[in-house]
Structure 1
């Protein structure tokens, strides 16, 4: 009898062991991202942004590109955007193509390619745009922004982080400030990660009632693929670009590149739209 009881105890113990296997703690996406910052490596992105007013679609903007990393983050990018008239991207005049490297941005297409001198195909601007794309309000490569969305996530099971933040909180993470009605708008998001904690997709959406102008809704889904792949981005040859300051004030080419990141929005400019 003692042997039987001993056998039953061992069997029960074995059952408990097999029924409750140890699970590794989920990898922190912020730490996983930090490890990707290796010179000469990067990630590819693809993105779709949809905007509607009163349920009527204004079209879909598509973005593709490559991001090159250094030891502390993005050092260069090559982004292409296609936007139908009336889309969110067209409202901010996102350049059809922009290469950013070494503190300069080289832009091509649309308004940026009109009436350029013979042989010139690109316009160079000082500075690099904030954010990896124009339509995605949540820039995962901004440490404070990523920390914000992770801390506000309601669930992180199976590598999925879902939550919402206000425009005010997001602007603060970017180092800016928003007040009034616009600041209260919620941005819903869903951030997915793989087993290594690397972000594979980010979907964000928000809505705003413009009164007689209609109720608008915007949704942007960004996918990240090829983490750690070799990326090498070069500036266009000097022979094919012209600096924007050399075009003159009468040129139809924009004097600066617009930026839709919240840290670049003048305080009060958006609040007037929401009131």
Structure 2
């Protein structure tokens, strides 16, 4: 496992060196990120984001998945999310490209289309409703598991993190995230280890709002299998449009089902 973590750290460091800088480290320290985040919690407002997911194996990375999405806020935090996932750009070598998927989550109820559910829908239906569903399709397990739009999650990361200007670096674990983050628990409903280490690098803007987040974690934290040894996920999230109007609604009831069809063998 030490070798796995070392490979993850090396690959992530290389990605950070080659990536375009978001802000100069010499600038004045930003505002308190947690306070800045809470100031955004206005009903009907939100933020948009994009994810770029990389699969790392033996220190080498390959594009795995791309996602776009939005969070809608209420007075207490996130009330809804809308995420669409597609094959990552330049991921021609991926042997199992994902079926495009979209998940709308309102409260704890999710509506999913495509992806895992694409060949299981009854005739005339296109959305699967789960009253306690995931934040994304199964590919979401291999995506951004850390949600810095949650105050408790953000505060947990910043506690003990190293700050350099507008950038915070550090690590956490699956277990710590499970305690503070409803997003993590819904995104990864199963896991093999609470001790899996998640490293992170968070950059905030002058107002203290999250601008860019890079995390990485070993896949053996999800699946305890020798086939995943030496493999990890690196997820880069960029946030844009803090404070813009976001309205996320459930799909038309006529297109929604709560029952899936087993078409295996057909």
Q: Is this a same-fold pair by TM over 0.5?
A: yes
Q: 1:232 aligns with which of 236, 241, 247?
A: 247
Structure with greater contact order relative to length (CA < 8 Å, sep ≥ 6): 2
Give the superposed CA RMSD. Answer: 3.2
Unaligned runs of 5+ in 2: 1-26, 186-191
Q: 2:202 aligns with which of 191, 200, 205?
A: 191
User: Take 1:42 and 1:164, find their aligned partners in 2: how far apart are those partners?
Assistant: 27
Aligned runs of 1:1-275 on 2, under 5 Å?
26-55=30-59, 57=61, 59-83=63-87, 96-101=101-106, 103-129=108-134, 134=141, 135-155=143-163, 157-174=164-181, 182-207=193-218, 214-244=229-259, 247=260, 251-252=262-263
User: Take 2:128 and 2:68, find their aligned partners in 1: how far apart are those partners?
Assistant: 20
User: Take 2:173 and 2:154, find their aligned partners in 1: how far apart are those partners?
Assistant: 14
User: Take 1:226 and 1:140, find their aligned partners in 2: how far apart are those partners?
Assistant: 15
Cα deviation for residue 50 of structure 1 reads: 0.9
User: Take 2:239 and 2:101, find their aligned partners in 1: how far apart are those partners?
Assistant: 20
Contact persistence 1:164–1:186 (CA under 8 A)? yes
Contact persistence 2:29–2:166 (CA under 8 A)? no
Contact persistence 2:68–2:83 (CA under 8 A)? yes
- TM-score normalized by the length of structure 1: 0.67
Contact persistence 2:50–2:67 (CA under 8 A)? yes
1:19-55 per-position Cα deviation (integer Å, ceiling 9, x unaligned) = xxxx986311111110111111111010011112224
Contact persistence 1:95–1:112 (CA under 8 A)? no
- TM-score normalized by the length of structure 2: 0.69
Q: Number of paired residues?
A: 217
Contact persistence 2:160–2:170 (CA under 8 A)? yes
Cα deviation for residue 96 of structure 1 reads: 1.0
Q: Rg larger in 1 or in 2? A: 1
CA 1:103–1:170: 2 relative to 1, 3 Å: closer
